[in-house]
C-alpha cells in the first residue's frame, strides 16, 4: 500500500476487481469466488456504505446469474430428455414395425409352404387318380378282349358242331342213296345171291362210310372233299 493512502480505498478497489472477475467467469468461477469470500470475508467494519451496497448488488447479480444458469441447465436437461425419449420412441416404433414385418414374413413363408404342400398333395392325388383311371381302362379293354375271345371260341365251336352235324346228315344221305342204288341193282338176282351180295355191300358200305368220315375229319367240310362216290362204289 503506498504511503498516504487509506486502507478503505484499497479495499474498495479490491472489491471492484473481484466484481469484474466474477461477472466474466463461469459458474465454476462463481463457486471459487464464493468459497474465497466465505473463507476470508472482509471485516464489515472496514467497508463503507457504498462498498456494502456494491457487494449486495454483486451478490444479487450472482444469484440471478446462478438461477439463470440453473434454469438453462434444467432446460437443456429437459431438452435432452425429450430428445432421448423421442429417439427411444422412434426406435421402439421401428423395432415394433420390424417385429411385425418379420412376423408377416414368417406367416407368408408358412402360408407359401403350406400352399406348396397342398399343391404337391393335390398333384399326387391327381396322379393316383389318373393311374387308377388308366388301370380301369386297361382292365376294361382286357375284359372286352377276353369276352370277344370267348365269343369267338363259342362261335367257332358252334360252327364246328354245325359242320359235324351237316357232315353226319350228308353222310346219312349218301348212305341212303348208296343203299337205294345197291338195292335197285341187286333186285333182279336170286335170294342167295342177294344175301351174299348184301353182305358184301354192307362191308363195302362200311368201308365207304369210314373213308367219308376220314375225309370229313381231315378237311372239316364236305364241300372240300373231292371223292367220286361212283368210283368208291365200284371199288
User: What is the mean pLDDT of each successive set of 10 residues along the chain, which is 235 residues long?
Assistant: 42 46 45 45 60 87 91 93 91 93 94 93 92 93 94 93 90 87 70 53 56 54 46 50
- Which residues neighbour 46 within 8 Å (Cβ) at sequence distance 6 or greater? 7, 8, 11
pTM metric for this prediction: 0.33
Q: What is the pLDDT of residue 180?
A: 84
| Angle in degrees, CA 224, 230, 233, rounded to 5 | 110
DSSP for residue 41: P
Q: What is the pLDDT of residue 201?
A: 53
Three-state secondary-structure class, residue 202: helix
Q: What is the pLDDT of residue 192?
A: 53
Q: What is the pLDDT of residue 36?
A: 42
Q: In the chain, where are the structural domains located?
A: 7-89, 101-186+193-235
Angstrom distance (rounded) from CA 12 to CA 48: 8
Q: What is the pLDDT of residue 104?
A: 95
Amino acid at each position: 500500500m503506498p504511503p498516504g493512502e487509506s486502507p478503505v480505498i484499497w479495499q474498495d478497489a479490491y472489491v471492484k476487481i473481484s466484481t469484474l472477475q466474477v461477472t466474466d467467469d463461469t459458474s465454476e468461477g462463481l463457486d471459487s469466488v464464493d468459497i474465497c469470500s466465505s473463507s476470508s470475508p472482509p471485516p464489515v467494519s472496514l467497508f463503507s456504505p457504498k462498498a456494502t451496497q456494491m457487494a449486495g448488488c454483486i451478490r444479487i447479480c450472482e444469484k440471478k446469474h446462478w438461477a439463470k444458469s440453473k434454469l438453462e441447465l434444467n432446460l437443456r436437461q429437459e431438452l435432452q430428455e425429450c430428445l432421448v425419449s423421442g429417439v427411444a420412441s422412434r426406435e421402439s416404433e421401428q423395432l415394433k414395425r420390424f417385429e411385425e414385418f418379420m412376423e408377416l414374413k414368417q406367416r407368408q413363408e408358412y402360408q407359401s409352404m403350406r400352399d406348396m404342400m397342398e399343391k404337391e398333395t393335390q398333384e399326387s392325388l391327381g396322379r393316383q387318380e389318373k393311374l387308377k383311371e388308366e388301370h380301369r381302362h386297361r382292365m376294361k379293354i382286357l375284359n372286352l378282349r377276353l369276352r370277344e375271345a370267348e365269343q369267338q371260341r363259342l362261335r367257332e365251336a358252334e360252327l364246328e358242331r354245325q359242320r359235324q352235324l351237316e357232315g353226319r346228315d350228308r353222310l346219312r344221305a349218301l348212305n341212303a342213296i348208296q343203299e337205294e342204288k345197291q338195292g335197285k341193282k341187286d333186285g333182279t338176282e336170286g335170294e342167295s345171291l342177294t344175301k351174299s351180295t348184301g353182305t358184301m355191300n354192307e362191308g363195302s358200305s362200311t368201308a365207304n362210310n369210314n373213308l367219308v368220315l376220314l375225309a370229313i375229319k381231315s378237311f372239316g367240310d364236305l364241300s372240300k372233299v373231292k371223292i367220286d362216290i361212283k368210283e368208291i362204289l365200284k371199288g
